[in-house]
Chains A and B, each alone.
Chain A
Amino acid sequence: MAANFWNSSHCKQLFDQEEVDVVHPLDKDKGITLEDFKLIKMHMAIPICKLAQQVKVRQRVVATAVTYMRRLYTRKSMSEYDPRLVAPTCLYLASKAEESTVQARLIVYCIKKMYSDDKYRYEIKDILEMEMKILEALNYYLVVFHPYRSLPQFLQDAGMNDISMTQLTWGLVNDTYKMDLILIHPPHLIALACIYTASVYREKDKTAWFEELRVDMNVHDVPSVEASFVYLTALSFWQDLVKNIAMEILDFYESHRLITDERINTAFNKLKP
């Protein structure tokens, strides 16, 4: 599982938090703050998710679409790339890249059904044009790894693969896409952080398992020389890293309660031309 992540374009494209938290100058001019920026990105995951349910694609496609959107905004402004068009287009592109193609026609139809609002009136032509622009902005890197893949193995290994724990951690992983974690951390560490968070939440002591796992990964999973440096670095801070990610997740839930519709609307209104 890890062997192909370490030499993937995804791995090479991981960002530092500081690189992700940069508001594009064009957006700054409109008064968009870092908080607005994060809020809009978080909020745009919702229509992607809703749309995905309508057109019936897997969670994996949603995750890839959100990742594309978040990667896009590390390079491009929201003023030039309207989030309301970017979101459905990312889902469209992700559906193709993840081999479950959805017709552009269907996406446009579903958007119209979901929103009466004029701001969401986009035609097929707009989606196709934006698709090309997004592809270019992503530099045509389309393969994304997600925490979902390693989740069942980890859960089974930890003896926590009952339905309730599986559902809880799966839900936690879904929620990590409301943050920028997928741009910053290797996906299996995000998976572990979610398991860690879940075990703390359900008050299950899994310290021993996490210790064991660390040793295990040390022995089996060291890939090529080039990647092993990255890997060993990760390994030595391994527990801290997982804990830090888990803390971020908890922080997110904490602040998430305080977000109001009004706050979101204010952020979106700043984007108006």
Chain B
Amino acid sequence: MSRNVLLIEDEPNIIEAIRFLLSRDGWSVHTHANGSDAVAEVARVAPDLLVLDMMLPGRSGMDILRDLRADAATADLPVLMLTARGQTRDRDMAEKAGVSRFMTKPFSNAEVLSAVRELIGEKDAR
């Protein structure tokens, strides 16, 4: 059975590209484009891994991440955060909030695939 990845991103063409990429790699990809109900979507899909954009309509990825880490059910969920803001302080904030991996745009497909595989590998090894 394929593993679930939830992609929360508001850029349609990035969604399409990542969905194609991960699907080809054997993942079952769910997508969502809004921040305001993202936490509920995570609870509904119960993904093995979350790919989360930092700047989303409705609610920031950072706030969503903090909520997920505060909930025992998602405290250990691997989260790959995507952002156009690659400054040190943004990275520091994300790490403090409990991000598993931080990736700045524009990233390559190989980087995304590699990060997803590694994060799932780390999760399986725990």
Q: Report whether chain A binds chain B.
A: no
